[in-house]
Structure 1
Amino acid sequence: MSPSRSSDSPPAPQPGVPPRPPAEVRAALLALDRPGTPCTVRDGGPEGVDVVAEFVLVKLTKDGLFGRRQYCESFQVQLRLVPESYEVRAVDVHTEYTLSGDKPRRRTTSRSRGQLRKKLVGYEFTPGTRERRETYRFDSHDLKAALQHAVAAGGWTWHPVTFGRL
């Protein structure tokens, strides 16, 4: 999921390429969800949008006196297809939250919305040594680049949303 981009502007559709129907653009976006990748691309019905691309990270898990507690972080790109103008409107949502108890309840601790850039890298230390090994790497730039290329290939434009509704 990481086509390279030389600039920060989203790719434009090729001139002369007719825009594809919304169902085909949506299918192309959902096709980016592949096993073995750290991100998922899924239907955005629960969030009230068309498609959601998401990276979820469980940062720390503790077993304590009051049960299990997980500290988590998620980064979402929420997408809405606007067929009238052949554009995909996108907003980023970063959330840090805690899951606690036997039947996990979610408590949000912080939430950001807009056009965000997030880089996350995790390491695992080798027992008995000072060596560390990278266990995961996430850059929101790579995730959005893959989404933008799928949109442009369908003849649509990418419209980032900072304030307001999708």
Structure 2
Amino acid sequence: MGRFWDKYTGTQHPDREAAPLPATHVRAALLALNGPDVPFVVREARPAEKADLVAEWRLQEPAWQTFFARSELDRQFRIRMRLVPEKREVRTLDEQWEVTWAGTTPKVATSGKYSRGPTTTISKRWTHEQGSDGRKQRVQTFGFDSREMKDPLRNTVLDSGWTWRGMVFKL
């Protein structure tokens, strides 16, 4: 069941040539991903989060309005990570919250959703605008892809010679 289970859970193993780094170096490399050019933050976990590090991306999609109502989607995507030095692996758990808000003032939450487990979330929004040639064209006004956060984290762990163990049921 090994390779099939790894594919199902999102687990990836490093190349055999990659020399495993100490846990302190892996932690430092993950924290070094922070910067002004990345849309997420990697931070030390709080005790209640039951992890060592947390990467999170909070975003608010642009509001859309119909004749009757105005609606807005607030989303948080988070990856909790626990470093296990004995096995040279980082155990991860993906979590996502979505809240839909309606109204202008005060805003009222009309729906909410929570999910956990390996996920790839892509959300895009377009508008139609008139191009320079006078023809209508679609222009992307909003985009979110969870792989923009997960891929750099996973690649950092794999480059450090550690295993990225996805979908941990208990951190």
Q: TM-score, normalised by structure 2?
A: 0.69
1:155: which partner in 2? 161
Q: CA RMSD in A?
A: 3.5
1:42 has 2:43 as partner: yes
1:114-148 Cα shifts (integer Å, max 9, x gaps): 11121112335659x96553233222234222111
Structure 2, unaligned runs of 5 or more: 1-6, 65-70
Greater gyration radius: 2
2:170: which partner in 1? 165
1:59 has 2:91 as partner: no
SS in 1 for 2:35: coil
- Mapped partners of 2:98, 2:144: distance in 1: 15
Range that drifts further, 74-83 or 15-24: 15-24
- Mapped partners of 1:119, 1:130: distance in 2: 25
Deviation of 1:71 (Å):
4.0
Say whether the 8 Å CA contact 1:11–1:149 is kept in structure 2: no
1:123 has 2:126 as partner: yes
Find 1:144's aligned residue among 150, 155, 160. 150
- Mapped partners of 1:48, 1:108: distance in 2: 27
1:12: which partner in 2? 13
Say whether the 8 Å CA contact 2:12–2:165 is kept in structure 1: no
Judged with a 3 Å threshold, the aligned counterparts in structure 2 of structure 1 residues 122 and 47 are, in CA distance, closer, same or farther, namely farther
Judged with a 3 Å threshold, the aligned counterparts in structure 2 of structure 1 residues 38 and 13 are, in CA distance, closer, same or farther, namely same
Say whether the 8 Å CA contact 2:21–2:161 is kept in structure 1: yes
Structure 1, unaligned runs of 5 or more: 1-7, 63-68
1:95-116 Cα shifts (integer Å, max 9, x gaps): 013689x9x9x99821001111
Among the aligned pairs, what percent are the same residue? 33
- Mapped partners of 2:147, 2:24: distance in 1: 25
- Mapped partners of 1:140, 1:84: distance in 2: 29
Say whether the 8 Å CA contact 1:122–1:135 is kept in structure 2: yes
SS in 1 for 2:25: helix
2:3: which partner in 1? none
Q: What count of residue pairs does the alignment treat as equivalent?
A: 154
